Chains A and B, each alone.
Chain A
Amino acid sequence: MTDVIVVGAGPAGSAAALLAARDGLDVVLLERGPFPGSKNAYGGVVYGRVLDEVLPNWWDEVPVQRWVTRRSTMVLTEGRALTVDFRSTDWGKAPYNGCTTFRADFDSWLAGKAVEAGAQLVTSTVATGLVVEGDRVVGVRTDRSDGDLRAPLVIAADGVKSFLAKEAVLLPRTQAKHLTLGVKEVLSLPREVIDERFGVRGNEGVDVEILGCTRGIPGGGFVYTNRDSISVGVVVSVEHLAAAKVRAEDLVADLKAHPAVAPWVEGADLKEYTAHLIPEGGYDHLPPLSTPGMLVTGDAAGLCLAAGIWLEGVNFAIGSGLEAGRHARRIIETRDEKPYRAALEETFVLQDHKRLRGAPGVVLSERVQQQYPGLIADLVQGLFTVTNPTAKPGVVKLLRAAAKNNGVKLRHLMTDGLRGGKVFR
């Protein structure tokens, strides 16, 4: 008898299956792709500390591309770039901070851990719908000839589109407003060329998050290093991308052509192009996280943190999956799903989301997206342009001019400063 059906062998599903199986439950882990991770793409960094407690020394075996020891935030305007760059040798040794990886490798590795714990992984199988009795989910339909699978608990880890959560009316059918589209190019370069261009050695890697490279469409860009390739992409609001009638790959082409990025990617060959949606609505737009007989985890539950300087998803998927798996037995026994949400409230998963609930609104606001990059670039260019024989202008004068030049009123700066301070407190 199956106790738990986990749908989706991404980080959320595998984490859930891992702990449920360790707890002695009979777990089936369904994956629609030919192998875990085959349908997944992400924006660059896995922050693995969430695994410390369940997979000690995970860093010795995780299929890492590079450990991120340099983290940059870049603001671009045409022909100009301001970069804040931080580097720490601490991040290059255990327990590390974040790593770059390919999801085909990472997701397969984590699913393997669930299998080692006793979960049964079934690939190439789509959960096509729910089996419902009364108001309770009692299983899933599959596209296998043997059809339905029944269990007292279903864990939906079926990703951002989550047709299971939609069928249970936890998610609306469409929600373009709270989704972003990420597109990414993986570009081959020899390892030593990457080391040289990015100023890293050995297993060290770089993650660059970029504002101002999306033609004013709310979103941003990224560049990060793999062992012998670099990943370059943009993440943009689906709603605004559609309205602007801009093609996503053209935004990536823009980014690659920018003078701050072009030297990094010069001579690189395209190895793979990927696209994936990301749920970025934040805490205020999370769906209900359960319905009788079913828990919702990871992207299916909207648990991606898109908070400007923090862009995290895999760790939230794992964090939510672990709590679903940890409480599965109790939920099956009591037929009460509430402990799942309560557990998430006790961990970073909902605490970070709650604290940063205002962040998506600020980060994707029109001024941050369209006006502040220019303002910042004007201000910094003014500061560092030596105007001899004219004396240096004062900072306040430069700020006023930069604001005016970019259509920003000083009271906007005040209110946005206060709002930002409140949101990121």
Chain B
Amino acid sequence: MTGYDGISFDDRMETVEFRVAERAHIVVDSDVCRSCTTKACVTACPANLFAPTSDGGILFNYEQCFECGTCYQVCNAEGALTWTYPDGGHGVVFRHG
């Protein structure tokens, strides 16, 4: 998918280093998400990690996460999203932040 400034989202994310941990630092309870009417995480996450599924749940991945925390700040369903830091030394590594 190409963004309208000509950079595809994949190319954008390719510029960022991720030292992916084995343990997922984000856990989503899709059962809770099914009752969510806003699904604000889907567009608000700058890394585009959350995708709505056909049955009304949320599919997510944690590997390419900026660790900004926007998702849990906008999540309006208690218990839907559990967020911890990735294990020490893992996760995003910014060089030009």
- Inter-chain contacts of B88 with A (CB < 8 A): 32, 123-126, 142-144
What DSSP secondary structure best describes chain A's contact surface? mixed
Most chain-B Cβ atoms within 10 A of its Cβ — which of A33, A248, A257? A33
Query: Which of B40-72 touch A at CB < 8 Å?
Result: 40, 43-44, 46-48, 66-70, 72
Query: A239 interface residue, CB < 8 Å from B?
Result: yes
* A272 contacts B15, C-beta separation under 8 Å: yes
Query: Which of B7-21 touch A at CB < 8 Å?
Result: 7, 9, 11-13, 15-16, 19
- Inter-chain contacts of B38 with A (CB < 8 A): 242
* B68 contacts A276, C-beta separation under 8 Å: yes
Report the count of interface residues on A (CB-CB < 8 A): 57
Closest to B48 in A: A247
How big is chain B's contact interface, by range? 35 or more
Query: A401 interface residue, CB < 8 Å from B?
Result: no
The answer to whether A39 and B3 touch (CB under 8 A), given A176-B73, A238-B74, A247-B48, is no
Most chain-B Cβ atoms within 10 A of its Cβ — which of A231, A239, A242, A256? A242
* A247 contacts B97, C-beta separation under 8 Å: no
Closest to B38 in A: A242
Chain B interface: which of A14-22, A178-186, A364-372? A178-186
Query: A408 interface residue, CB < 8 Å from B?
Result: no
Q: How does the 8 Å CB contact mask read for A350-372 relative to B, with 1 for contact and 0 for none?
A: 00000000000000000000000
A257 CB to nearest chain B CB (Å): 7
* A250 contacts B4, C-beta separation under 8 Å: yes
Query: A334 interface residue, CB < 8 Å from B?
Result: no
The answer to whether A104 and B44 touch (CB under 8 A), given A238-B74, A257-B5, is no
* B68 contacts A126, C-beta separation under 8 Å: no
Choose among A34, A144, A175 the residue that contacts B93 (Cβ–Cβ < 8 A). Answer: A34
A34 to B63, CA, bound (A): 17
* A181 contacts B43, C-beta separation under 8 Å: no
Query: A418 interface residue, CB < 8 Å from B?
Result: no
- Inter-chain contacts of A246 with B (CB < 8 A): 43
* A103 contacts B94, C-beta separation under 8 Å: yes
* B95 contacts A102, C-beta separation under 8 Å: yes
* B74 contacts A250, C-beta separation under 8 Å: no
* A275 contacts B46, C-beta separation under 8 Å: yes
Choose among A34, A37, A250 the residue that contacts B19 (Cβ–Cβ < 8 A). Answer: A34
- Inter-chain contacts of A241 with B (CB < 8 A): 43-44
Closest to A182 in B: B68
A301 to B74, CA, bound (A): 20
* B85 contacts A238, C-beta separation under 8 Å: no
B5 CB to nearest chain A CB (Å): 4
Choose among A126, A270, A271, A275 the residue that contacts B87 (Cβ–Cβ < 8 A). Answer: A126
Choose among A104, A238, A277 the residue that contacts B96 (Cβ–Cβ < 8 A). Answer: A104
A-B contact list, 25 entries, CB within 8 Å: A33-B91, A39-B92, A40-B97, A103-B97, A104-B95, A104-B96, A123-B89, A124-B88, A125-B88, A128-B84, A163-B84, A174-B73, A175-B73, A176-B73, A181-B70, A226-B96, A241-B44, A242-B43, A245-B40, A247-B46, A250-B4, A252-B5, A270-B12, A271-B96, A276-B97
Instruction: Write the residues of chain A forming the contact surface with B, with a CB cutoff of 8 angstroms.
Output: 32-34, 37-42, 102-104, 123-126, 128, 142-144, 160-161, 163, 174-176, 179, 181, 183-184, 186, 226, 229, 231, 238-239, 241-243, 245-250, 252-253, 256-257, 270-277
